[in-house]
Amino acid sequence: MKYFICLAILLLTFSGSANEPSEIRIDPPHWWAGMNYSSLELLIEIKLKSNENYIISEVIGNDISMVKDEEAQNRDYHYVTLNIEPNAPSQKLKIMGWRMGDNSRVPISITYEFKSRRKNLHEFIGLDQRDLIYLVTPDRFVNGNKDNDIVKGLREKTINRNEGFSRHGGDLQGLTSHLDYIKSLGASAVWTNPILINDMPVYSYHGYAITDHYKVDPRFGGMKAYKKYSRELHKREMKLVMDVIPNHMGTYNRLFQDPPDSAWINSWPLNSDLDERGEVDSTALTNHRYTSIFDPYAAPIDKKQFTDGWFVHSMVDINQRDQRCSNYLIQNSLWWIEEVGVDAFRVDTWVYPDQNFMDNWSKQIHKVFPNFFIFSEAWVHDGSSQRFYFNENKTLDGAADFMMYSSWKDALENPTTWNSGLNAFYKNLGLDYQYKSPSRFITFLDNHDEGRFFGKIKEDMSLYKMGVAMLYTMRGIPCLLYGTEILLKELDDHGKIREDMPGGWVEKKGDRNAFNNSGLSQDERDALSFVREMAQIRESYPLINTGSFRHWAPYDKVYAYCWYDDNEIVLILMNRSDREEIFDMNRMTELSFKDIKIILDTQLQMDFNESERVSKFNRVELGSNGLKILHLTR
C-alpha cells in the first residue's frame, strides 16, 4: 500500500508540464525481465539549452531501483544505473527527474518498459559443425520493395546499379522471399552484411559505417522487415547470423557528432568537420600492424596507431577502453539478440578493438545467452597470429579461417609441388594442433572482400567442383558466398565483387534468374545443380563434420581425407594433376572396410541418386583435376 501511495503522489507531482517522451532518447530503448542481467546502464539524452541542466531523481518500479544518476561530460547525456532483482517482473517503470534553467524547474516523467521475453525465440540459437552459412550482401541480392529504394531525409539520394559503390536497392523483404532457395543450397544459417542504418553521403550500401546502433536501415525495410526475416528463418529451422562492428562507426553517428564524452572516440581531439563524402582528413589511420599487439619488441607508438587509428577517414574509431562506451556496446549487442532473435554474431575486424574489451564483451554475452555463437573476422596472414587472436579469448566460439582460405587458394590456383598446391593445403591442416577448437572455424572459398572463387580459378569447372566439394566436406563450418553457386566471377574492386544476384532485379521474361533457373548458361545451371547435390550428400551423410577426421599426405598430386567412426567411412579423394592418377586403398591401413559405394565423381555425369554402384578395389582411379567421394562400410 505504501508503494502505491508514493507512486500516486509522485505522478501528481510530475504531471502537467512534464517533458514529453519524444523530447528524450534512451538507449537501450527498452529491456526485458528475466535476462540474467542485474545492472543496466541507461544512456539518457535530452537536448538542452546553454543555461539548462537536468537530474534524474528516482526510478519507480517493482524490484527495480535506481543506483545512481551521473551527468556525462556532455550535459545532454546522463548515465542512469538500474539494479534489477532476479525476480523483477515485466512492467513499465517511471523515470522521474527535473529539467532546470536559470529561473525554471520543469518535471521530467519517462515511461520505460521492461518487456516479457518471447517463448521459443532462441530455439535455434548457436552454430555447430553441421551448419552451413550463406553470406549475403543485402543491397545486392533481391529488390523486394522498390518503395524503400530512396528514403526521404537520408543523405545518399540515388540508386545506380551501374555503379559498384552506389546503392542498388536490395532489401530484407527480397532476401526473405528467397529463403527456400537459400535452404536448397544446404544452408542452415544466413549471415548478412550489416543491416543497421548507414546514413552516409556515399558508399552506404555495405553497412559498415553505422550511424545509429538501434535502428535498422529503412532502405532495407526497417525493424519490421528484420523481425519478419528472423521469423521466416526460424520457421525453416534456419539461423540468423548478425554482422556486428565494435571497432568503428560512421562519422554521422550522433555518438561522434555529439558524443556523451570525448573519451568514447579514439584520436581525439580532432577537427570534426566533414567533407562531402563524410570523411575527416585530420585523424591518423591505423597502420594495420596486428602483430604489434603480441610482438614483444613492438614500439608503443605502433601499438597505439594500430588500435586507435581509424580504419578509413569515414569510420570513427571507437574507444572500448572507456567503461561507459564499453557498457553501451555490450548492452546494444544483448539488446539485438533478444529483440530480433539473433542466433550468432560475426564480428567485423576483430583484431582492431581493445582485446580486453572483446574478451569481456563475449563473456557478458555468453553469461546471458550460454549457447550463443560468436565468430571473428581476424584477417591475418600466418598461423601464429590466427592462433593468438582465436585462442586468447576463451569465450570466442569460432573464427573465419583465413589460413585455410589461403591454402585453398594455393591448392586450386597453383600446381602441386613439394611446398605448394595440395601440399600447402595438407601442411596447413596439419597445424590444427595449435588451435583450441579448429572444428569451429568458419571455412570459405571466397568472401565479400576478395575476388570471386570462379574468377580466381580462371573459370575452370573441374576446379570449381573440386573446391565446392571440399568446402562442403572439410572440417569446420562452411560458408558459401551468395552467387558462388551460379559462377559469379568478378575479381576487381569491392563494388564489382558484391555484384547483383541474377534474378533479384527481373525486368522482363527470360532475364538471367538464379531463383527459377532461367536465362542461365549451361555451366551456371551445372554449377547450381552441383551445389545442391553436395547439399544432399552432406545431409545424407551426417558423419561428415561429426566423425573422426584423418588425411593422407599427397602422393602423385592426389590428396585424401575422410570422416569415420566404427561403422562407416566417408572418403574424399582429389587429383590435382592434368592426367589420370591412382589412390592406393592399402594406405588406409587400420581403417578396414567391407563394401564401397561411389557417392560422387566430378568427372562423370553421375547423379547422386544413381550412386548405388558397388565395387571392390584396392586402387581408385581419379580423372584429371577430378574428385571422388566414396562411402565405405566397416
The residues assigned a catalytic role are 348, 377
The CA–CA distances, whole Å, from 354 to 211, 212, 390, 412 equal 21, 21, 14, 36
d(CA 252, CA 211): 6
d(CA 253, CA 218): 16
The strand pairing partners of 632, in sequence order, are 569, 596
Amino acid sitting at position 78: H
Contacts of 147 (CB under 8 A, 6+ apart): none
DSSP state, 86?
T
The CA–CA distances, whole Å, from 379 to 296, 349, 398, 533 equal 21, 7, 13, 31
Q: What nine digits make up the cell of 634? A: 566397416
Label residues 532-562 b or e (16+ Cβ within 10 Å = b): ebbbebbeebebbbebebebbebeebbbbbb
d(CA 279, CA 315): 8
Report which of 120, 76, 78 is spatially closest to residue 95, judged by C-alpha positions.
Answer: 78
φ/ψ of residue 473, rounded to 5: -125, -5
DSSP state, 318?
B
End-to-end C-alpha distance for the chain, whole angstroms = 74
Length of the chain: 634
Q: Let me know: does 480 contact 131? Beta carbons within 8 Å.
A: no
The strand pairing partners of 78, in sequence order, are 44, 71
Judged by phi (left if over 0) then psi (alpha if -120 to 50, else beta), residue 404 lies in: alpha
Q: Let me know: does 203 contact 209? Beta carbons within 8 Å.
A: yes
Report which of 248, 348, 357, 354 is spatially closest to residue 293, judged by C-alpha positions.
Answer: 354
Q: Let me know: does 211 contact 153? Beta carbons within 8 Å.
A: no
